[in-house]
Structure formats: structure tokens, C-alpha cells
Amino acid sequence: MIDKKRLHNDMPTQLDYVIRQHTSPLEVDAEAWNDLLALQSHPSPFLRHEYLAAMHQSGSSTADTGWTPRFITLWQRNEQGDELQAACPLYLKDHSYGEFVFDHSWANAYQQHGLPYYPKALIAPPFTPVPGSRLLARDSATRRILLKAVIAWCEQHELSSLHLLFCSDEDVEACKAEALMLRHTVQFHWTNQSVPYADFDAFLATMAQDKRKKIRAERRKVAEAGVSFRWSLGADISDADWNFFYRCYERTYWEHGNAPYLSRDFFRQMQTTMPENWLLFTAERAGKPIATSLVAVQAINTPARGQNSTINEQSDTNSSKNSEKVAYGRYWGALESVDCLHFEACYYQPIEWCIQHGYQRFEGGAQGEHKMARALLPIKATSAHWLAHPAFAEAVQRFLDREGQGIENYMEDLGRRSPLKG
């Protein structure tokens, strides 16, 4: 049992609540989870119940792959029954792969001192380095109660550590209040103007001449190679398109010497349960598909549609209080080698689509300084960490202080190399 008295220390309010642990996302009511997600400031498709359930049901994130689900929910009891107040996707990890915030050196230090680092607790969607809400809650007080409950659960199970990856600002505030250590990494995002770009040329006009010239040259190489693109959204992504995408995705992983994280069944479930959140770019040459780029999209709650639709996409609404329209670059692969095809498929085509469809942001994913030359600018992404062992916590905090200064210096250096006009 979790010590409720301990959870209430320094909290501004008392709640009649029940804390539950779930060994599968399927044990949590999907509608209640998604309704709670919709209330957050930074909801992403990757915290939807359907996404987490597909990870589990497809075998992509289970105990067999080192992702043992232990979802935590907090319920308030009332006359109508239990109402979900807070929740988070917690996993027990017996490795550090698929996280994109690297703590291998911490694990090695534990091992050198004869202490177990694994299993550890992780709060994040598997294999998905996308910033967003992690501690789903109806208000800040409930968010802190949830976090206290999770830490108490980790202590109860004698876990080495707890890690919340790519947190929202609200999550960071809760973690700071509970004295968790913060760690920063750098990602690269493209952002539309407050007065949106009229077209891709208007976007290019904001860039320094050498960068603008380079992008035009790269796009010209792809076009002169006889490659054209088509895009499909939602239900307009056909079975054949999904099958071809997975061939490309799988081949890319094997070419880099790794098995793919995600199974074909995972994407089959995405096609079935949340098609409206996926946008596929297909590169073709001589009528034959040769490469694909899969992008996730936010704020698509109207019926799925593609490029031949007559529905006005500008009327899209989001049930979340945050109606910003965001696209997320996720997966790519090619069966043929064409110079600059990766840049066209993964950056220029999605950015052009975002401009055409009124999207405010395109997130290019973790790492990749080369993205700056394509006007994806650096932003800091924050994670939070709790270590049970006091001496190791002190050592890690000293490491994070040094690393954090390095990140600040790196951000300043990147700022001086902005691809935009001065």
C-alpha cells in the first residue's frame, strides 16, 4: 500500500482518492484516459490510449522487450462513481534503449559499485522522443499528488530511480516542487510565423541567401532525378501504402544493424484505431514508390481525409485547451538511393504541407544538428530524474550541473549560427 499521509505533506488540498496500479494500458478506461489527456496543455498523439495500447498489444513494448507496464491512476470517488483525476504511463525498464535520454553512464556507475540500476521506472511513451504532457492531471495540485504517489511506489518497490522524459512545462514545475533533478537536451523544430507563410517561397525568403540557395539546389536534385511526391492523410493511406511504408521502415533499421523497434502489427493498429493522426509522404519515380516518410499530426479530429478531399481543413478543432496544430516527423525509409531524397522527404515536403494546411510547428525529432540548415531551430527539451540512493543522487546532480552549462553554451553557439536572416 502507498502511504497516503506521506503524499499529502505540504499539499494545499485534501482529496478522497484511490490510487491504482495497472499492469497493462488495457486495464485503464480508454475514454477516461483520452478525456484527461485532452485537458493537458501539451497533449500529443503519443499519449493517446490507442497509441499506448497498440504498443502493448503489438508486443512492441512489453516485459519481453524490457518495457513492463505499471500505469498509475488516481481516482476521486463521488456519488456518480470514480472519476479519473490523474494518470501516467509508467514502465519498468531493464535497459535504457528506446528512450533517447542517455543514462548508460549512470547504470555503469551503479554496476561498478555493485548496486542494481535496473529495473528503473520510466514515464514516457516508448520509443517516442517527443515533448509533451507526461503527468496527466486536472490541476497542478493533483499533478503533485500523482507524482508523490509514483515516487512512493518506486520507494516501496526499492527501485533505483524514476525518469520522466521530454516533459511539459507543467510537469517540470511539479518535478521541481518535488525536488527532482532536471536534465536538458536539444531538439530541432520548425515554427510558422505569427502571420503564417503564404507558401514555401515565402518561408525561404526569411533565410540567409546561402541557406536558401542550398535548399533550392537540394530540391532541384530530387526533381531532376525524376522523383515526385504524393501525400495521404488518415483513411486515405491505403493498405498498400502502409505495407510499403513498413518495408522502407524495416529496411532502414536493418541497414543500421538493428531490428526495428516497432512491429508491423503496431502500424496496423495505428491504421485502425487512430488513422486521423497519420500523414504519409510517398516518393515515386516512373510510377513506382521508392521511399516514404511518416508524420504524426495533432489537431485532426474531423473525419480523416487526404489530398483529394473537399473538406476545409482550416475548420479543424481540437478538444484540448491547446489548439495549436503540430506535426511530428517520425519514420522514414527508402528502397533506392537518390541524392538529397532524405531532406526532401523528411523536411521539405512536411514543412511545405504544414504551410499549406496552417500548422504552427513541425518537430524534427531528437538530435541532428544538420536540421538547422533546413530552418529547424534548436529548443531545449527537459527531463526529470529521481534517484533513491543519496550519494548517487548527489553525484548525478553534479554531473547535470556541468552538463547543463555545456547545453547552455551549445545553445548559444547554435544561436550564433542561425540560418535565418540577421
What tens digit of pLDDT does each residue of 344-374 get? 999 999 999 999 999 999 998 777 889 999 9
Question: Closest Cα partner for 7 from 156, 138, 221?
Answer: 156
- 17 confidence band (pLDDT: 50, 70, 90): confident
Determine which helix (DSSP H) or strand (DSSP E) holds 233, and give its type and residue range.
Answer: strand 227-233
Query: Coil, strand or helix: which one is 122?
Result: strand
Q: With a cut of 50, say whether residue 13 has pLDDT above it.
A: no
What integer pLDDT is reported at residue 313 of this predicted model? 35
Query: Coil, strand or helix: which one is 97?
Result: coil
* Interval 306-329 mean pLDDT: 52
- Which architecture characterizes domain 4-188+381-416 according to CATH? 3-Layer(aba) Sandwich (3.40)
Maximum CA extent, the chain: 69
Name the DSSP class of 207.
Answer: B
354 has which bridge partners? none
Name the DSSP class of 257.
Answer: T
What integer pLDDT is reported at residue 182 of this predicted model? 98
Assign a CATH topology to domain 193-359: Aminopeptidase (3.40.630)
Which three cell numbers mark 76?
Answer: 476521486
pLDDT single digits (tens) 395-421: 999 999 999 999 999 999 999 999 998
Higher pLDDT: 332 or 300? It is 332
Name the DSSP class of 158.
Answer: T
Cα–Cα separations (whole angstroms), residue 85 to 40, 145, 173, 323: 12, 10, 18, 22
Q: With a cut of 70, say whether residue 312 has pLDDT above it.
A: no
What integer pLDDT is reported at residue 15 of this predicted model? 55
Residue 149, sorted as left (phi over 0), alpha (psi -120 to 50) or beta, turns out to be alpha
Pick the range with the lowest mean pLDDT from 135-149, 151-165, 316-330: 316-330
Q: Three-class SS string for 356-420?
A: HCCCCEEEEEECCHHHHHHCCEEEEEEEEEEECCHHHHHHHHHHHHHHHHHHHHHHHHHHHCCCE
In the chain, residues under CATH classification 3.40.630.30 are: 4-188+381-416, 193-359
86 has which bridge partners? 74, 137
Q: With a cut of 60, say whether residue 316 has pLDDT above it.
A: no
